[in-house]
Chain A
Amino acid sequence: GAVVSQHPSWVICKSGTSVKIECRSLDFQATTMFWYRQFPKQSLMLMATSNEGSKATYEQGVEKDKFLINHASLTLSTLTVTSAHPEDSSFYICSAGGVGNEKLFFGSGTQLSVL
């Protein structure tokens, strides 16, 4: 099946710093990628939809200036958590799909811990 690679797997940073997370579709082109956030023992909450070559669309309540998304190519989307704070600590997961996003494939996730 299709593979979505997410990097890094985990990151620890100091409060106030920025962290970039990469999501790559390895064997297919993804015009759309999705970014989710998951707190412990909770479900996945969609943060934003990343569209190649255009601005991302954010879900209600998600700060676009804090969670910067860039989808510069058909195989790469990045999420940058700017000026991270402890409350931003969470598990971030990206997903991408083929034509029509019929089958969405997920990355392995990034555990962010902000000290």
Chain B
Amino acid sequence: QQQVKQSPQSLIVQKGGISIINCAYENTAFDYFPWYQQFPGKGPALLIAIRPDVSEKKEGRFTISFNKSAKQFSLHIMDSQPGDSATYFCAARGGNEKLTFGTGTRLTIIP
């Protein structure tokens, strides 16, 4: 299976709060898990990525948590700001170097 399931579809978080987006995969051959941020009318921009031999990776306000046994990974955005309002995609890369994208989460940060 090449599918990557992402939830929630949309998320509203108050400014300063923690935004959490979850993804699950089935293909154990995936070896690289990036998260992308996309603003309307723009291409996706790489936020942070993790390999399955690491359980957590943090870069600034963004943290990926990875659970290999459960085949799940999540993105946490700490101290969420209005500028973080965008669509977020998780993805997974297989041995053929192709990325399989999740369905996306539209995040809105409210004052």
Instruction: Report if A and B associate in a common complex.
Output: yes
Best-buried of A34, A45, A102 by chain B (most CB within 10 Å): A102
Q: How many B residues are at the interface, by size bracket?
A: 20 to 34
CA distance in complex: A47, B104 (Å): 18
Q: Is A61 engaged at the interface, CB distance under 8 Å to the other chain?
A: no
Q: How many residues of A contact B (CB 8 A)?
A: 27
- Tell me, in angstroms, the Cα distance from A32 to B96 when the chains sit together: 11
Main secondary structure of the interface of B (DSSP, over half): strand
Q: Which secondary structure dominates where chain A touches chain B?
A: strand
A34:B99 contact, CB within 8 angstroms: yes
Residue numbers in A under 8 Å from B104 (CB-CB) = 41-43
Contacts of B93 in A (CB 8 A): 101
Can you give 11 contacting A-B residue pairs, CB < 8 Å? Answer: A32-B97, A34-B98, A34-B99, A43-B101, A43-B103, A44-B44, A46-B99, A97-B97, A106-B44, A107-B43, A109-B42
Residues of B near any A CB (own CB < 8 A): 32, 34, 36, 41-46, 49, 89, 93, 97-99, 101-104, 106
